[in-house]
A and B are shown apart, each in its own frame.
Chain A
Amino acid sequence: MKLPASTPDWAALRADFPILHQLVHRQPLIYLDNGATTQKPRAVIDALVRYYERDNANVHRAIHELSYRATTAYEAARARAAQFINAASPEEIVFTRGTTEGINLVSYVFTPRLKRGDGILLTEMEHHSNLVPWQLLARRTGAQLLFVPVTGDDGLLDLARIDDLLGRNVRLFAFTHISNSLGTVNPVAELCARARRHGAVTVVDAAQSAGHLPLDVQALGCDFLAFSGHKMAGPTGIGVLFGRHELLDALEPFQGGGEMIASVQFEQSTWNKVPHKFEAGTPDIAGAVGLHAAMDYLDGIGRPAIAAHDEELARETFARLGGIPGIRLFGPPGERGGLVSFALAGAHAHDVVTFADQQGIALRGGHHCNQPLLRKLGVPATTRASFYLYNTPEEVDRLIEVIRQAAGFFGR
């Protein structure tokens, strides 16, 4: 396959990722598990090393030079994250451990604001981290969980049902931007606008989109948005929760500890201002520094170009897998995120993954933390190939070849 000639030199960018240049089971590594985590460019690895070798200290609490440097670097990362998603100010950026912690934070701090009879609206395509925290919130408050249906294998939300569902006392509407198991790109701005008309607060899971697409939280009109550094070329252990300032300001804290307080007495304390109110304890300073480097790296290439590249590889894969007898493809045939999920008749996902692994190809097989959806679609597990900026058309060629071999090997 060929990509348009006007795109960046993707093959040259591979040199930025040291991990890609190795043999796995005596074959060149083809890493197609980017939906789980992405690889890190040298710039991010160097930023982590540089921070620990030169600047490491705790933030916001000492007057010495290193603490000043660490604090400056940490807050610079916050400002960069605000710019990265066009938040109105850095105060709207809370650093977390990742998407899961961001969603848990929101679900926790909304506990006193929900009561029996209130609705929490989700979609059937949410992965466990955007499902289980809301189940816990529903259990704590007596609120009811409602779900926007997925139409079928094409993996689209049944948009016709949304206004009816939002009308059922829904206070919170949490949904994914790009489905990790289907590749569906949901119309975030439209969903947020509809939720706003019904007075519901929106929480967007941007785990699969933040490293691929340009994000503008003001244009999207969301109230909260969460993403993970490690799925966008950054380190593990760091993530971002965006929250609209007035909401963050009005909500009670998540965890208690140092950093999040203004003054502490034995019996009670007052809270620091946002976003520090939500960042108890020593944060992942190095992680924030690494995430800063990752954001710079991605924007050096250009997120629109990355999105086009990843989608092109996914569309090509989707189209060519469709030619293999006995294959079942999931997700929309049109616009999609940079991943493809499929099932092969007669070959379980884990066998396909083992088969591909022996050829050096890293795929994901299983329920992708999305058991209820796969149960609804009547498939126990799918195999997923997910792409990133360092993947190449030649790797897609090789993937198709190996999946064809697997179909022959296991097939009836």
Chain B
Amino acid sequence: MDLTELYQSVILDNNRRPRNFRKLPTANRSAAGNNPVCGDEVTVYIQVEDGRIADISFQGAGCAISQASTSVMTQRLKGKTVAEAEALFGRFKEIVTQGTPDEEDLDLSAFAGVHQFPARIKCATLGWHAALNALHGEAVTATTE
């Protein structure tokens, strides 16, 4: 396949200029994720208010897929409830494992090419696992292998 199918411009752009890349002083939830095999690391910070994600940020280091997907995730999760976040993660997992783009969600669909690289699915979902752990108040470090 063409490399630009995997590394869509949304991914390259979010890797070069990750959004919401900072610590969040107002966070009342946070969780780390790491991928011990390749060394990808993210920490997601979330401020939950009245059951909604009022603000969300992350810091980390790793491959373009892991950093860009976490960056895109922070943009898409702001304002969502926990249940909505879970539903969105379900859709994202479908995109990266089945390669089925969602016409209405072009940012998440940018990761559809990942399904052709099974070894990289864990990179794409790392930040999401950390975010869901944080929302569920689980202090464990998410690992994807």
Q: Which chain A residues have a beta carbon within 8 Å of chain B's beta carbons?
A: 346-351, 354-355, 358, 365-367, 371, 374, 380-381, 409-410, 412
Q: Bound complex: CA of A355 vs CA of B40, how far in Å?
A: 17
Contact, CB under 8 Å: B41 / A346: no
Chain B 37-57: CB-based contact to A (< 8 A → 1; otherwise 0): 111110000000000000000
Residue A410 contacts which of B37, B62, B64, B120 (CB distance < 8 angstroms)?
B64
B65 touches A366 (CB 8 A): no
Cβ-defined contact, B16 with A355, below 8 A: no
**Residue of A347, A374, A410 with highest tally of chain B CB at under 10 A:** A410
Number of B residues whose C-beta is below 8 Å from A?
Answer: 21
Q: Which of B56-86 contact A (CB under 8 A)?
A: 61-65, 67
Residues on B with C-beta less than 8 A from A349 are: 38, 63
A-B contact pairs, 28 of them (CB 8 A): A348-B63, A348-B64, A349-B38, A349-B63, A350-B38, A350-B63, A350-B65, A350-B120, A351-B7, A351-B63, A351-B64, A351-B65, A355-B3, A358-B3, A365-B38, A366-B38, A367-B38, A367-B39, A371-B39, A374-B39, A380-B40, A380-B61, A380-B62, A409-B3, A409-B12, A410-B12, A410-B15, A412-B16
Contact between A366 and B37 (Cβ–Cβ < 8 Å)?
yes
Q: Is the CB of B64 within 8 A of A381?
A: no
Using Cβ atoms and an 8 Å threshold, which residues of chain B touch A355? 3
Interchain CA distance A358-B64 in the complex, whole Å:
16
- Cα(A381)–Cα(B123), bound, Å: 14
Q: Return chain A residues, CB-CB under 8 Å to B117.
A: 354
Query: Is B88 engaged at the interface, CB distance under 8 Å to the other chain?
Result: no
Chain A proximity of B4: nearest CB distance (Å): 9
Question: In the complex where A358-B1, A380-B62 touch, is A409 in contact with B39 (Cβ < 8 A)?
Answer: no
- Nearest to B15 among chain A residues (CB) is A410
The residues of B with any CB-CB pair to A shorter than 8 Å are 1, 3, 6-7, 12, 15-16, 37-41, 61-65, 67, 117, 120, 123
What residues on B are CB-neighbors of A347 within 8 Å? 64
Contact partner, A354, options B6, B37, B41, B62, Cβ 8 Å: B6
Q: Within the complex, what minimum Cβ distance (angstroms) separates A23 from chain B?
A: 15
CA distance A348 to B16 in the complex (A): 11
In Å, the complex CA distance between A358 and B7 comes to 12
- Give which listed residue, B1, B7, B38, B41, contacts A409 with CB less than 8 A: B7
Q: Is the CB–CB distance between B7 and A381 below 8 Å?
A: no
Rounded to whole angstroms, the CA-CA distance of A351 and B6 in the bound complex is 10
Cα distance A367–B67 in the bound complex, in angstroms:
18
A374 closest partner in B (C-beta): B39
CA A338 to CA B65, docked complex, whole Å: 31
Distance A347 CA – B38 CA, assembled complex (angstroms) = 14
Question: Shortest Cβ distance from B135 into chain A, in angstroms?
Answer: 26
Set of chain B residues within 8 Å of A348, measured between Cβ atoms: 62-64, 67
Would you give the shortest CB distance from A46 to chain B, in whole angstroms?
33
Residues of A within 8 A of B39 (CB): 366-367, 371, 374, 380-381
- Residue in B closest to A358 when the chains form the complex, CB atoms: B3
Q: Name the distance in Å between B34's Cβ and chain A's nearest Cβ.
A: 10
A355, B1: Cα distance in complex, Å: 11
Looking at A347, A351, A367, the one whose CB has the most chain B CB atoms below 10 A away is A351
Complex interface: chain A residues within 8 A of B16 (CB): 346, 412
Give every chain B residue within 8 A of A381 (Cβ-Cβ): 38-39
How far does the Cβ of B92 sit from chain A's closest Cβ, in whole Å?
20
- Set of chain B residues within 8 Å of A346, measured between Cβ atoms: 15-16
Provide the residues of chain B in CB contact with A409, threshold 8 Å.
3, 7, 12
Bound-complex Cα distance A348 to B41 (A): 12
Chain A residue with minimal CB distance to B123?
A350
Beyond A351-B7, A367-B39, 19 additional contacts (C-beta under 8 Å) are A346-B15, A347-B64, A348-B63, A349-B63, A350-B63, A350-B123, A351-B64, A354-B117, A354-B120, A355-B3, A358-B1, A366-B37, A366-B39, A371-B39, A374-B39, A380-B41, A380-B61, A380-B62, A381-B38
**Nearest CB on B from A402, distance (A):** 11
Distance of A380 Cα from B64 Cα, bound (Å): 13
